[in-house]
Structures are given as structure tokens and as C-alpha cells.
């Protein structure tokens, strides 16, 4: 039976239209992320240790000042935005209504491991926590630049999730405006807060949707998931900005992220996926903080999206979230 659910977080509708011939567990990826046609798997690349000279300049190295690095944040060699352009004058800000602005902004790459063959989920919880702390450090640097209004952290894994490099990496973009999806999410949270006095994510119902729990986080398939097997990892305690995370929470989140990626990999045959950190813009008024709650969205790319989604912003999901959560909950992972 088809159903239309309201996604109150992103303020959009999702159509659930179960593919009757398929069980949820049949939505497996057919192709390994590294194996795209005409692109034979390589064994080294510019992101590997000892290839640093092939990369754009380095911004952060972990640990600092050693050739034996574990993580590097570097400039993107082909950036979507240009960090050297004139910074837009914050006093000459037409409220985001300008039709044309200089393409100023930051586009960094986070190399998560020096080893070409290691995936993020192969790292330990502490090592993944260190990648999250590298995001935090770089976001902290960008927060000091007044013209940067928002930072989007994202990871593309596998060619059909948009990755052009197979070496494990993620990206950060610091943009001089608040993107429309971010504004829509905050407007929806504000509307709910004004009506109920409560934060949407502090109050989110888990019940049949829960996939995992840790000391500081829980993971669920959202009630109105846009795509099959989408997962959100949400901090238990209300926090508006990802970059407020401390070392202990970063390791705990590293463990939760690893568990969720391994569950997706085991149940769905190592699918291509994206994750995104949905945090809050830098310059938010104090009265906005009580309803702005950051979270991580993980989306395996199993079905592709096309004209209807582009035209309407409304996704058609063939797997009910309760069924996806059951499939993910039931698989045991030894870590
Ligand atoms: P993705 O396309 O999601 O795999 O992200 C990889 C990113 O790395 C792309 O945005 C590329 O522009 C960028 N990139 C590719 N080669 C280099 C390099 N040698 N140094 C820095 N960035 C690079
Ligand atoms: Zn490599
Ligand atoms: Zn909250």
C-alpha cells in the first residue's frame, strides 16, 4: 500500500511505494564502489602517503609535523569555490538576494587515511573519531572568517555516489551564504518550536525505527526517509553545532558511524553512499539555538533519483523505514 509521509525536519513529503516483488533485503548494490566500467581499480593515487607533492597545499596534518601522518586536510585541486577571490563585504550583504556574487568560498579535501586500500569503516572508533575531530578543527578555522556563513561536510563513497577518487576521503565546503535546504530545515524546526516549545530532534520517536544506541548518540531510519536504508545519527543531548563535539563524544560517534557503515556494507553488499553533517550556520542568534539540533545523514545510493525528484524535491522511496530499520537492526557486527 502506498503512503505519503511528511518529513518534518526537511519540511517535504516523501512517497512510499513498496516494490512488491522485492523484499527490503533485495536492495543490494550490484557493483562494488571501486569497480566502475572503464576505470580499473588502482593501487595508489595522489592521496596516498609519499604522494603528498601531487596534492594541492596542506591545511591540517594529524598528528602535526610528522611524515607519518594519519589524516590530512588539503585544498581541493579543482575547487568549486575560490578562496583567493575578494571576500564579499559583509556590510554590503543584500540579504542573500544578489543575483551574482564572486565565487568566493573554501573547498577542502579530508584524506582519512594514508593507505589507499583502507576504507573509513576499516579504521578503529578512535581513528574515525580523529577524522571527525579534523572536521571540527577545520570548521573552527573557517568559523573565524566572517564571510563564511555555513560549512557543509560530506563524504562521497563509490562512483555512483559521486566519488571521483577511490582513496578514502571526505570534503568540506565553506560557503558565503546559508543554503536553501539549511534555511528550510531551520525554519521547520523554528515553526515546531514556536508551536510546541520543543526541539524536533530531542523529541524524535524511535520505536520501530531504532538501529543502534551509544552513550552519546542514537541511530535510526527516519520516519520519512528519502531513500532506502537512509540512517540518521543524532546526538542524545541537544547541540546546535557539530564543531562543539569533544574528544570523548567524537570517539563514541566514530564507533556509531563505523557500526552503521558496517551494517550497510554487510546487508547491502558494500553500497555506494554519501554522508552529510547537518549542522547550523555560524552566525545564529541565541534564540535560534534551542531548536537547531545537528545530526549526520547517511544515504546508500541504491536506486538513483530522476526527473520527478528534481522537479518536485519529493522522493519516492520503495522501502518502508520500519522494514529497513529491522534489516539493519538484525545484522550483528563484531567490532
Ligand atoms: P570526489 O570527487 O567526491 O571523489 O572528491 C575528490 C575531490 O578531490 C574532488 O573534488 C577533486 O577535485 C579533488 N582532487 C582530486 N585530485 C586532487 C589532488 N591531487 N589534490 C587535491 N584535491 C584533489
Ligand atoms: Zn591513494
Ligand atoms: Zn534538540
Residue 34 covered by a domain: no
| Residue in the structure block whose three cell numbers are 536492495 | 27
Whole-number pLDDT of residue 227: 95
Residue 215 lies inside a defined structural domain of this protein: yes
Tell whether 277 is covered by a domain. Answer: yes
Each residue's pLDDT tens digit, 185-222: 999 999 999 999 999 999 999 999 999 999 999 999 99
Quick check: is 169 catalytic?
yes
Q: How far away, in angstroms, is 177 Cα from ligand 2 center?
A: 33
For atom 1 of ligand 1, which residue has the closest CA? 163
Smallest CA-to-CA distance from 320 within 201, 229, 219 is with 229
pLDDT for res 217: 98
* From 107, 157, 169, 241, active-site residue: 169
Query: Would you say residue 74 lies in a domain?
Result: yes
- Give buried/exposed letters for 307-334 (b at 16+ CB in 10 A, else e): eeeeeeeebbbbbbbebbbbbbbeeeee
Domain contains 88: no
Domain residues for the domain of 320 are 3-27+44-83+100-329
pTM greater than the 0.85 cutoff: yes
CATH of the domain at 18: 3.30.428.10
Residues with CB under 6 A from ligand 1: 46, 54-56, 74, 76-78, 109, 156, 162-165, 169, 171
pLDDT at res. 36: 47
Which ligand does the CA of 198 lie closest to?
3
Nearest ligand atom owner, CA of 295: 3
Structural domain includes residue 167: yes
Burial class for 1, CB neighbours closer than 10 Å (0-12, 13-18, 19+): exposed
List pLDDT tens digits, range 106-163.
Answer: 999 999 999 999 999 999 999 999 999 999 999 999 999 999 999 999 999 999 999 9
Asked if the model's pLDDT at residue 88 lies above 70, the reply is no
Q: Give how many domains the chain has, as a whole number.
A: 1
In a domain, 51, yes or no: yes
334 assigned to some structural domain: no
* Ligand 1 atom having least distance to the Cα of 166: 4
* C-alpha cell read off for 213: 544506541
Distance 218 CA to ligand 3 centre (A): 13
Amino acid at each position: 500500500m502506498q503512503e505519503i509521509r511528511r518529513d518534518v525536519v526537511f519540511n517535504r513529503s516523501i512517497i512510499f511505494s513498496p516494490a512488491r516483488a522485492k523484499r527490503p533485503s533485495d536492495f543490494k548494490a550490484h557493483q562494488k564502489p571501486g569497480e566502475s566500467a572503464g576505470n580499473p581499480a588502482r593501487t595508489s593515487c595522489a592521496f596516498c602517503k609519499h604522494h603528498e607533492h601531487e596534492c594541492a597545499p596542506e591545511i591540517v596534518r594529524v598528528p602535526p609535523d610528522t611524515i607519518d601522518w594519519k589524516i590530512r586536510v588539503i585544498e581541493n585541486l579543482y575547487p568549486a569555490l575560490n578562496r583567493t577571490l575578494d571576500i564579499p563585504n559583509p556590510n554590503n550583504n543584500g540579504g542573500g538576494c544578489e543575483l551574482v556574487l564572486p565565487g568566493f568560498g573554501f573547498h577542502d579535501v579530508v584524506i582519512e587515511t594514508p593507505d589507499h586500500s583502507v576504507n573509513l569503516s576499516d579504521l578503529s572508533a578512535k581513528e574515525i573519531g580523529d577524522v571527525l575531530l579534523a572536521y571540527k578543527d577545520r570548521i573552527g578555522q573557517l568559523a573565524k572568517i566572517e564571510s563564511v556563513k555555513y560549512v557543509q561536510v560530506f563524504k562521497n563513497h563509490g562512483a555512483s555516489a559521486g566519488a571521483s577518487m577511490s582513496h578514502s576521503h571526505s570534503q568540506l565546503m565553506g560557503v558565503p551564504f546559508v543554503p536553501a535546504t539549511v534555511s528550510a530545515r531551520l525554519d521547520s524546526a523554528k515553526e515546531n518550536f514556536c508551536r510546541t516549545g520543543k526541539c524536533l530532534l530531542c523529541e524524535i520517536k524511535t520505536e520501530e525505527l531504532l538501529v543502534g544506541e551509544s552513550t552519546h548518540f542514537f541511530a535510526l531510519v527516519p520516519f520519512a526517509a528519502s531513500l532506502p536504508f537512509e540512517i540518521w545519527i543524532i546526538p542524545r543531548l541537544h547541540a546546535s553545532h557539530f564543531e562543539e563535539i569533544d574528544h570523548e563524544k567524537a570517539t563514541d560517534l566514530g564507533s556509531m558511524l563505523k557500526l552503521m557503515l558496517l551494517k550497510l556494507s554487510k546487508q547491502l553488499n558494500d553500497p555506494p553512499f554519501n554522508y552529510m553533517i547537518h549542522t547550523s550556520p555560524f552566525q545564529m542568534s541565541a534564540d535560534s539555538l534551542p531548536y537547531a539540533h545537528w545530526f549526520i545523514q547517511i544515504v546508500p545510493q541504491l536506486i538513483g533519483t530522476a526527473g520527478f525528484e528534481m522537479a518536485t524535491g519529493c522522493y519516492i522511496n520503495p522501502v518502508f523505514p520500519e522494514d529497513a530499520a529491522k534489516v539493519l537492526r538484525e545484522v550483528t557486527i563484531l567490532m
